[in-house]
């Protein structure tokens, strides 16, 4: 099985956050940096359950490196439409060479981006390969160039490393000038046995960079580091223990070009989410588990303290889900998320300090065209108050 050089992670816990992992290697301009309004929707984390969280049996064997089409879209209101998708395709050219094409798209309330990357790979032997890739369809000032290698690959197991020169070359930009060029490093892998322990992980590091804004005369410094891992541990013939964790740390400061000037903004964000789930892999599959979210944001604006931001959010949610077959191709998957949220929020327009119950029931209708191609439609209902909980759709094809 030949593996493409681009591994894109969609986490079991929260695939929306996986876009951060991909962005860790592509953060050249401020607009594509920190999602400044990430926590300002009171139901943001719970709303993600309406269209992006998938049951563990969807990710059986934790596929990562195979060719696929994976698109998720949905909305919790008329102004919060989200699209997240990826396309990976490979073409064997012979003589050890292969051509790869990858699309990464993301659009939500805070960010919008579209990446098209092409790569040429050369296999050194059956288990190792080198590759180079670039974004040939991007604006000149947004082209990223990467080199990397598969240090190991065999069937569904692989270990891959990639180094990226972000916005290469930076001298082309008419908007910014880099004083410290942006580079990124990514490491991803998948190992194990379906009958034992199966692990998938990805690490992304946007190394510190400094950019000077040519229009407004400000200097932006930023770095971001992300880690994630998911395991399936088969305890018995029908019992699987699922554990997943993701973490992100972002630091950004915006200052005037005059070294003696006061800081415009200092921003720091820490996000961590962990989930443990017991999955009964039976003809009527079900799972039960718990998920914890830890999220802090501090945006300090010395020149305008009223616009400073402070977020402290802690979530403890119970998870219960099952799959009801209605034929060979049609199935229904009700999913229940409910728990306690501690929410502290401060900015110029809102103040919250709450300890409350939140819950959502999501009903997923899935049609399997083939074992590797499926379309699902989802509708959600709030439990903490009578309300529509959002809806969405997902199309997945692996080949």
What pairing do the DSSP bridges indicate for beta strands 197-213 and 112-123? unpaired
Whether 331 maps to a domain, the answer reads yes
Q: What is the residue-wise DSSP string for 208-233? A: EEEEEETTT-EEEEEEEEEEEEEEEE
Selected residue with higher pLDDT from 1 and 349: 349
Sequence-separated (6 or more) residues with CB below 8 Å from residue 290: 275, 276, 277, 316, 317, 318, 319
Confidence category of residue 38, pLDDT binned at 50, 70, 90: very low
What is the model's pLDDT at position 4?
Answer: 27
Does the pLDDT at position 19 exceed 80?
A: no
H or E element, residue 273: strand 265-280
Average pLDDT of the residues in 210-232: 83
Which residue's entry shows tokens 């490491």? Answer: 187
Average pLDDT over all residues of the chain: 78
Burial zone of 368 (CB within 10 Å; 0-12 exposed, 13-18 middle, 19+ buried):
middle
Q: What is the pLDDT of residues 96-107, one digit of tens each?
A: 999 998 887 777
What is the model's pLDDT at position 29?
Answer: 33
What is the model's pLDDT at position 191?
Answer: 92
Whether 374 maps to a domain, the answer reads yes
Whether 386 maps to a domain, the answer reads yes
Residue 36's nearest CA partner among 263, 261, 254 is 254
CA atoms within 13 A on the CB side of 331: 20
Q: What is the pLDDT of residues 126-174, one digit of tens each?
A: 999 999 988 777 666 567 788 999 999 888 899 999 998 877 765 656 6
Alpha carbons 259 and 255: distance in angstroms, whole number: 8
Q: What is the pLDDT of residues 193-213, one digit of tens each?
A: 989 999 999 888 888 888 887
What is the model's pLDDT at position 249?
Answer: 86
What is the model's pLDDT at position 93?
Answer: 95
- Check which CATH number belongs to the domain holding 320 and give it: 2.40.160
Does the pLDDT at position 250 exceed 80?
A: yes
Q: What is the residue-wise DSSP string for 89-110? A: EEEEEETTEEEEEEEEEEE-SS
Selected residue with higher pLDDT from 193 and 22: 193
Q: What is the pLDDT of residues 258-298, one digit of tens each?
A: 766 666 778 888 888 999 999 999 999 999 999 999 988 88
3-state helix, strand, coil in the chain (%, to 5): 10, 60, 30
Average pLDDT of the residues in 104-120: 74
Whether 378 maps to a domain, the answer reads yes
What is the three-class DSSP state of 371? coil
Whether 256 maps to a domain, the answer reads yes
What is the model's pLDDT at position 263?
Answer: 63
Confidence category of residue 43, pLDDT binned at 50, 70, 90: very low
Sequence-separated (6 or more) residues with CB below 8 Å from residue 81: 73, 74, 75, 107, 108
Instruction: Give the lowest-confidence range in 170-174, 217-221, 225-229, 246-250.
Output: 170-174
Assigned token pair, 150: 């598969």
Confidence category of residue 24, pLDDT binned at 50, 70, 90: very low
What is the model's pLDDT at position 313?
Answer: 87
Whether 101 maps to a domain, the answer reads yes
Selected residue with higher pLDDT from 91 and 81: 91
Whether 9 maps to a domain, the answer reads no
Average pLDDT of the residues in 214-224: 78
Beta pairing partners, 311:
297, 345
DSSP assignment, residue 59? G
What is the model's pLDDT at position 291?
Answer: 93
DSSP assignment, residue 162? E
Give the predicted TM-score (pTM) of the model: 0.82
What is the model's pLDDT at position 14?
Answer: 29
| Domain assignment of residue 54, given as a range | 15-398
Average pLDDT of the residues in 369-380: 90
Task: Specify which of 21-25, 103-107, 269-273, 299-303 reaches the highest per-range mean pLDDT.
Answer: 269-273
Does the pLDDT at position 8 exceed 50?
A: no
Q: Where are the alpha helices (DSSP H) in the chain?
A: 15-23, 44-47
Average pLDDT of the residues in 44-66: 73
Average pLDDT of the residues in 298-326: 85
Whether 94 maps to a domain, the answer reads yes
What is the model's pLDDT at position 6?
Answer: 25
Confidence category of residue 40, pLDDT binned at 50, 70, 90: very low
What is the three-class DSSP state of 183? strand
Does the pLDDT at position 327 exceed 50?
A: yes
Domains held by the chain: number: 1
How far from the centroid of its chain's Cα atoms is residue 211's Cα?
A: 25
């Amino acid at each position: 099985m030949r593996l493409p050089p681009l591994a894109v992670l969609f986490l079991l816990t929260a695939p929306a956050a996986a876009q951060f992992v991909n962005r860790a290697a592509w953060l050249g301009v401020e607009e594509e940096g920190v999602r400044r309004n990430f926590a300002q929707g009171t139901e943001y984390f719970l709303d993600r359950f309406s269209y992006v969280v998938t049951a563990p049996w969807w990710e059986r064997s934790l596929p990562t490196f195979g060719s696929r089409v994976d698109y998720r879209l949905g909305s919790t209101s008329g102004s919060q439409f989200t699209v997240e998708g990826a396309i990976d395709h490979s073409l064997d050219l012979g003589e050890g060479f292969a051509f790869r094409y990858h699309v990464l798209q993301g659009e939500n309330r805070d960010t919008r981006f579209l990446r098209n990357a092409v790569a040429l790979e050369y296999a050194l032997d059956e288990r190792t390969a080198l590759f180079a890739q670039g974004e040939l369809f991007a604006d000149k000032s947004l082209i990223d160039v990467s080199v990397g290698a598969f240090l190991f690959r065999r069937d569904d197991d692989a270990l891959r490393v990639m180094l990226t020169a972000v916005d290469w070359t930076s001298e082309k930009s008419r908007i910014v000038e880099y004083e410290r060029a942006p580079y990124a490093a990514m490491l991803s892998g998948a190992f194990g046995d379906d009958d034992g322990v199966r692990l998938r992980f990805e690490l992304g590091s946007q190394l510190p960079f400094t950019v000077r804004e040519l229009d407004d005369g400000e200097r932006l410094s930023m770095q971001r580091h992300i880690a994630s891992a998911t395991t399936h541990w088969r305890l018995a013939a029908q019992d699987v223990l699922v554990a997943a964790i993701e973490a992100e740390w972002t630091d950004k400061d915006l200052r005037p070009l005059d070294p003696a000037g006061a800081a415009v903004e200092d921003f720091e964000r820490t996000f961590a989410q962990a989930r443990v789930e017991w999955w009964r892999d039976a003809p009527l599959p079900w799972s039960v588990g718990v998920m914890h979210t830890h999220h802090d944001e501090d945006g300090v604006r010395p020149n305008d303290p009223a616009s400073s931001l402070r977020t402290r959010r802690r979530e403890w949610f119970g998870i219960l889900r099952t799959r009801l077959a209605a034929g060979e191709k049609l199935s229904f998957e009700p999913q229940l998320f409910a728990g306690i949220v501690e929410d502290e929020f401060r900015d110029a327009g809102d103040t919250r300090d709450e300890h409350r119950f939140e819950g959502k029931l999501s009903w997923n209708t899935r049609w399997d065209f083939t074992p590797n191609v499926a379309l699902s439609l989802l509708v959600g209902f709030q439990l903490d108050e009578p309300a529509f909980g959002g809806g969405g759709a997902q199309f997945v094809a692996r080949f």
